[in-house]
Amino acid sequence: MNDKKIASLAGEVSLGGDLPVHRLGFGAMRLTGAGIWGPPKDRKQAMAVLRRAIELGVNFIDTADSYGPAVSEELIAEALFPYPPDLVIATKGGWNRPGPDQWTHDASPAHLRQAVEGSLERLRLEQLPLYQLHAPDPAVSFEASMETLAELQNEGKIRLIGLSNVTQEHIQRARRFVPIASVQNRYSFADREWDYAVDYCERNRIAFIPWYPLGAGGVGGEVLNRIAEAHDAKPMQVALAWLLRRSPIMLPIPGTSSLQHLEQNVTAAALQLTEREYEQLTDVPDLVRQGRVSAVRAQSADGRGQV
Ligand SMILES: NC(=O)c1ccc[n+]([C@@H]2O[C@H](COP(=O)([O-])OP(=O)(O)OC[C@H]3O[C@@H](n4cnc5c(N)ncnc54)[C@H](OP(=O)(O)O)[C@@H]3O)[C@@H](O)[C@H]2O)c1
């Protein structure tokens, strides 16, 4: 198969109704040093992963100013600028990385303005195609954060606006100020706290970007392994295939610093689960609640298994 076509087998989702991307993207958080801090151990390898993702047809890359900080955005520009015309880079702001494995909020209007300028410069762009509020700041009015993003959009610095780590109420409040193109929350077949947000996004044609999409290794691992064996596939590929089938607005962004894992993950676009397999995976959270399969919750490498 032509490499270029692999990610496209997942189909497309339209961001904001006018920016189509293949439904299998790439998360660039893992390209930084340990604890999402500092430069990668192997810079050449990190750049090779980004370039290979494009060769495989990936045209949506997720990043944030806080990954590194700045490291992930700088690597993307170094590896891929000038960008392919169909590439959509989605970055985020409002949640800072003051040290390894540490997070601090700042979604104040002044900080968001500064953060957008920084991302534009590092990514070498005149407009950010999709800018996501990384997380609502408990010390700042949510409306003030959204008003600022709406202003930045009016000024032409942001094309589309997305949200991350939000409830349905946040999405509804944000939509009073601006159209919301995407929502990025932690989600996988085994981790379904945000099922209702996925359904809300589907009804309102908002792309849903699950982070930690592979975070299912422990939970329901036996179900995953059985289905993977039947397809001669990797468990991670099965977890991604479930997400792709869950909703047409689902846009997974599996992250890796390994070329081999990247190829496995993108190839999941071609994996079709049977109806029964899809249902078996869908039932895992219920089975866990009933104590019928192991419930070891894997932790995201950034140390936030839960938001
Ligand atoms: N909005 C938010 O708050 C938020 C939070 C976290 C992440 N994100 C975004 O979501 C993206 C994905 O989330 P994530 O990185 O936390 O989780 P993930 O993609 O579910 O998991 C990444 C982990 O799985 C490993 N991995 C990847 N592919 C694999 C494969 N085929 N086989 C075995 N192991 C594999 C990676 O290690 P290797 O490097 O060794 O492959 C890494 O440790 C991030 O890159 C970031 O862009 C957003």
User: What's the helix, strand, coil split of the chain in %, to 5?
Assistant: 40, 15, 40
299 lies in some domain: no
Question: pLDDT value at position 305?
Answer: 38
Identity of residue 125: L
CA of 278 to the centre of ligand 1 (A): 22
Please tell me the residue having the least CA distance from ligand 1 atom 6. 211
298 lies in some domain: no
pLDDT at 298 over 70: no
Ligand 1 and 259: CB distance under 6 A: no
Both tokens of residue 276? 């029964």
Please tell me the residue having the least CA distance from ligand 1 atom 35. 261
- Contact, 90 vs 132, CB < 8 A? yes
Burial 50-83 (b: 16+ CB within 10 A, else e): bebbbebbbbbbbbbbbbbbbbbbbbbbebbeeb
- What domain range is 166 assigned to? 3-276
pTM: 0.94
| Confidence class for position 300, pLDDT limits 50, 70, 90 | very low
From 49, 187, 194, 258, mutation site for ligand 1 pocket: most ligand atoms within 8 A of C-beta: 258
Ligand 1 and 267: CB distance under 6 A: no
107 lies in some domain: yes
From 88, 165, 236, 256, mutation site for ligand 1 pocket: most ligand atoms within 8 A of C-beta: 256
290 lies in some domain: no
**Total structural domains in the chain?**
1
Closest CA to 76 of 85, 65, 86: 65
Q: Does residue 212 carry a catalytic annotation?
A: no
Question: pLDDT value at position 306?
Answer: 31
Contacts of 113 (CB under 8 A, 6+ apart): 148, 152
307 lies in some domain: no
Ligand 1 and 214: CB distance under 6 A: yes
The whole-angstrom separation of Cα 216 and Cα 158 is 34
192 lies in some domain: yes
- Contact, 179 vs 161, CB < 8 A? yes
Average of per-residue pLDDT across 219-244: 92
Burial grade of 176 (CB within 10 A; 0-12, 13-18, 19 or more): exposed
Ligand 1 and 30: CB distance under 6 A: yes
Q: Of the given ranges (27-41, 56-70, 289-303), which has the lowest mean pLDDT?
A: 289-303
304 lies in some domain: no
Both tokens of residue 121? 């410069």
163 lies in some domain: yes
The whole-angstrom separation of Cα 123 and Cα 67 is 13
How many beta carbons lie within 10 A of that of residue 293, not counting itself? Answer: 18
The whole-angstrom separation of Cα 300 and Cα 297 is 10
Question: pLDDT value at position 2?
Answer: 66
Closest CA to 192 of 287, 64, 82: 287
CATH no. for residue 186?
3.20.20.100
pLDDT at 46 over 70: yes
Give the residue carrying structure tokens 């159209």. Answer: 179
Ligand 1 and 72: CB distance under 6 A: no
Ligand 1 atom closest to Cα of 185?
1
With the CA atoms of 176, 180, 186 and 192 taken in that order, what torsion angle do they form, in degrees rounded to the nearest 10? 70
The whole-angstrom separation of Cα 208 and Cα 165 is 11
Please tell me the residue having the least CA distance from ligand 1 atom 37. 256
Give 156-195 pLDDT, tens digit per residue: 999 999 999 999 999 999 999 899 999 999 999 999 999 9
Contacts of 296 (CB under 8 A, 6+ apart): 218, 219, 221
Please tell me the residue having the least CA distance from ligand 1 atom 16. 212
